[in-house]
Amino acid sequence: MIYLDYAATTPVDQRVLDAMMPYFREVYGNPSSLHRLGQKAEAAVDQAREKVASVLHCKLDEIIFTSCGTESDNLALRGAAMAKRAASGEKWILTSKTEHHAVCKTAEQLEKEFGFLLEWLDMDQYGTVTPESMRKAVCNQTALASVMYANNEIGTINPIPELAEIARVNNILFHTDAVQAAAYLDLNVKKLGVNLLSLGGHKFYGPKGVGALYVRNGTKLIPHMTGGGQEYGLRAGTQNVPYIVGFAEALRLTAEEREKRIAHVKPLRDRIIGEVLETIPDSQLTGHPESRLPNHASFVFKDVDGNLLLQMLDSAGFACSSGSACKTGNPEPSEVITSLGYSRDWALGSLRVTLGVDSTPKHVDSFLKSLPELVEKARKLNQR
């Protein structure tokens, strides 16, 4: 099986697994316990927090460990919006239709169930939230804006520093979902200028089931999980020590090896984009042609059932996606694709191809040799 779905998840790096293993059976204490085993576990969490803070260029107490990127997004949006409204009355939330469901659905719930007001930010043809659209949307009642760093479905990178600066001068909290971006983009929060930033470990060769939220000092959050007061009172529950250790080591390796990883995947990505557009009729690249993740190629094919194409690719030995892994199997077109203005006959035929450290030129050769025939076959079956 040739794996071309690294945006959905990544295999755990052996070095990360090695770092995690002692904390399952040898150093198994509860970090909240006062005895020696508990203190060792607490020290491991502290060291992990230091590693993450070093990559993000922030303070230790600005890192909150969570169970995943989705939880980080939920804590950021729900916690910040409610705290801001309680403090000063603002109730508008700004976000975009291309966000991950962890942001979109949370924003929609805040509007429907908790009385907030929601405005969808305009985007350009590539799914970019521009500074102009942000300036147009802000008002003196805006509590929070959330714009993802890089899109998981179409790969477009948003101009986060510029958007965050607009939010800052208007006294608006700014959150970015950096879950997909973390594998390849700079996470220096001082340069990004954000108040809140979400991460998920399994997107950069760490384990599933662990994430983190950066919370800039002075940013008030209402915790959505209360209890023992762990994670500075913002996320109660016994810390998952081995996973936190793995998350931090994976992030450290990602930052250390970023340039090497980019140099590996980008030429392969460019070759896929060039050959697909050249060899397959009625195909279009989705997302920005240049300002996109270096491992990410995404397309729409007219009159193709994307899910059928995925099944055919799977049978041929290729693991790909039709967009977000969370939407696989959904017969409706992705909201991200439709928000870009594609009609249904195009939007249903989406394909996402994402590369990683184990991708090789031979993998790409094999994929490019098989894809045109499979797309043609899928079109014929769709026309019956």
Average pLDDT over residues 30-34: 96
Whether residue 214 contacts residue 63, with contact meaning beta carbons closer than 8 Å, is answered with yes
Average pLDDT over residues 109-118: 97
pLDDT band at 323 (very low <50, low <70, confident <90, very high): low
Which amino acid is located at 173 in the chain?
L
d(CA 55, CA 252): 7
Q: What is the pLDDT of residue 331?
A: 66
Tell how far CA 371 is from the center of its chain: 27
Q: What is the pLDDT of residue 361?
A: 98
Dump pLDDT digits (tens) for 271-310.
Answer: 999 999 999 999 999 999 999 999 999 999 999 999 999 9
Does the structure show a pLDDT above 70 at 147?
Answer: yes
pLDDT band at 326 (very low <50, low <70, confident <90, very high): low
pLDDT band at 113 (very low <50, low <70, confident <90, very high): very high
In the residue annotation, 326 being an active-site residue is answered as: yes
Dump pLDDT digits (tens) for 40-57.
Answer: 999 999 999 999 999 999
Least confident of 8-17, 126-135, 196-205, 333-342: 333-342
For Cα atoms 319, 325, 326, give the angle at the middle one, nearest 5 degrees. 155
Segments in the chain forming alpha helices (H): 14-20, 22-25, 36-56, 69-88, 101-114, 131-137, 160-169, 189-192, 241-256, 258-279, 306-316, 335-339, 344-347, 361-382
d(CA 64, CA 229): 12
d(CA 179, CA 149): 8
Among 58, 68, 139, 326, the active-site one is 326
Q: What is the pLDDT of residue 160?
A: 98
Does the structure show a pLDDT above 60 at 201?
Answer: yes
d(CA 231, CA 208): 19
All domains in the chain, ordered by first residue: 2-8+258-382 (3.90.1150.10), 14-256 (3.40.640.10)
Mean pLDDT of the chain: 96
Q: What is the pLDDT of residue 363?
A: 98
Q: What is the pLDDT of residue 98?
A: 95
CA nearest neighbour of 313 among 348, 351, 281: 351
Q: What is the pLDDT of residue 184?
A: 98
Whether residue 66 contacts residue 206, with contact meaning beta carbons closer than 8 Å, is answered with no
Q: What is the pLDDT of residue 383?
A: 81
β-pairing, 350-354 with 296-301? antiparallel
Q: What is the pLDDT of residue 330?
A: 57
Q: What is the pLDDT of residue 152?
A: 96
Task: Convert 73-111 to b/e letters by CB count within 10 Å (16 or more is b).
Answer: bbbbbbbbbbbbbeeeebbbbbbbbbbbebbbebbeebb
